[in-house]
Amino acid sequence: MAAIKVRHLSKRYRIYDRPWDKLREMVGLGSGRLHRDFWALEDVSFELEAGHTLGIIGQNGSGKSTMLQILAGIMAQTRGDCFVNGKVSALLELGSGFNPEFTGRENVFMNGAILGLDKHRMEQRFDAIAAFAEIGDFMEQPVKTYSSGMFMRLAFAVAVNVNPDILLVDEALSVGDLIFQHRCMHRMNHLREIGKTIVLVTHDLEAVTKFCDLALLLDGGRLIEQGKPDMVVQKYRALIFERERRYGGFDGAAEVSGGSALIRSENEMPVTRSIPNIDHRFGSGEAVLLGVELLDERGTATSEAVGGQKVTIRVSAQFRQDVDQPILGYTLRDRLGVELSGCNTSYVGRALPPVKKGRIITSDFHLTLPFLAPGSYSVSPAVAKGSILHHDMCDWIDNALVFSLWSQSLIYGVLRMDTDVQSYVSQSAVDEQQISS
């Protein structure tokens, strides 16, 4: 059953150049229309099943917060339909729903009443809210005296302890400290496990790939991509890369010259022409990737490896234009699309020489694989031009190579770290009476 259905949703704002123009237009004193239309959302449609988690991403001004406010029922759409099935608890911008003159306790009960919970039921939940917020005696102080972190602690504690069917969160978690952020994510994971529906607006792309079942990418008020979080996140990264290419970025210092490029004729140099998979590809086209391979210690292409093994990631590219500062590199991701590591020739101080149109460059990245949890991992190769901080993407292929990583020992969590343990044991036995006391 769908918890949220959105069909052709649009939201329009009327923008007036001068404050009194709105009144003049209302009473008919102006000559014609005195406003211009701004569409914060335009023709957006999606559906979210109950018990699933949705991540909404996009640049500032893309319409993310407007969408959440419409879902929360605090703003009406201009046209289209929005159906929300269940009790909604929303954690929107800092301060929404709280009266700064009221104490924390009073605001807790006021928010409960807004959500349809009577005083008796809020009294039953109050201790849990206070324990989660952990703001001590400030619970009896006006919230206008709170820091932004304390404010958000209390707001989140209320939002997750009123037993909502649907929880809406708008970038609020970035306000708290690290301990609070971990506590919030733990609680949100618990809500997912018990079948609650969550909609999360965030700029934390790793949280989207790890936490969400579905993702939406908004840009300029329009929905330009929806689907699996890892694919939507890569579409967003491609969008950012393209805009950086057009408008420029930060100026970076020149890389250290490494003199590591060995000039060879094409028939004497290693060139890989294998691209097993293309999930998404983007770039200016001034250079194109020819292939990417994972090689074992013997230099044989493989699709399997073990933690601690020495391997080589080989990337080959051909240039369609003269390029003064070529860069080759790759990104390593897990099956959820979380970036684990990456490397390129510029980053390691092995600057490549200028290359002429038609030439091929192959870079071999030699590394020892970490002791990661068993599973599938992907390599996304790239070729660019410029410096570390200021570069244009020529060609990027998402998840071009997928390989399986095995472990010869038990691994807890994501990876195994080399750890030396030193323990101490008391010399004499402790009296049983001391233990019981």
Length of the chain: 437
Percent helix, strand, coil in the chain, to 5, is 25, 35, 40
Full-prediction pTM beyond 0.85? no
β pairing state of 197-201 and 214-219: unpaired
Of 4-8, 82-86, 185-189, 306-310, minimum mean pLDDT range: 185-189
Q: Give the per-residue pLDDT at 246.
A: 62
pLDDT per position as a tens digit, 388-399: 777 889 999 989
Task: Judge whether residue 255 has pLDDT over 50.
Answer: no
Task: Say if CB 367 and CB 349 are below 8 A apart.
Answer: no
Does residue 286 or residue 430 have the better pLDDT?
286
Q: Rounded CA gap, 388 and 381, in Å?
A: 16
DSSP states of 234-294 as a string? HHHHHHHHHHHHHH-----PPPPP--------TTTS---------S-EES-SSEEEEEEEE
Q: Give the per-residue pLDDT at 30.
A: 61
CATH 2.70.50.60 placement within the chain: 281-406
Q: Give the per-residue pLDDT at 245.
A: 59
Residue found under tokens 């790939």: 209
Task: Judge whether residue 2 has pLDDT over 80.
Answer: yes
CATH 3.40.50.300 placement within the chain: 2-240
Average pLDDT, the chain: 86
Task: Judge whether residue 321 has pLDDT over 90.
Answer: yes
pLDDT per position as a tens digit, 382-421: 999 988 777 889 999 989 999 999 988 888 888 888 888 9
Q: Which CATH class name applies to 281-406?
A: mainly beta
Question: Span 2-240: which CATH code?
Answer: 3.40.50.300
Does residue 336 or residue 75 have the better pLDDT?
75
Task: Judge whether residue 75 has pLDDT over 80.
Answer: yes
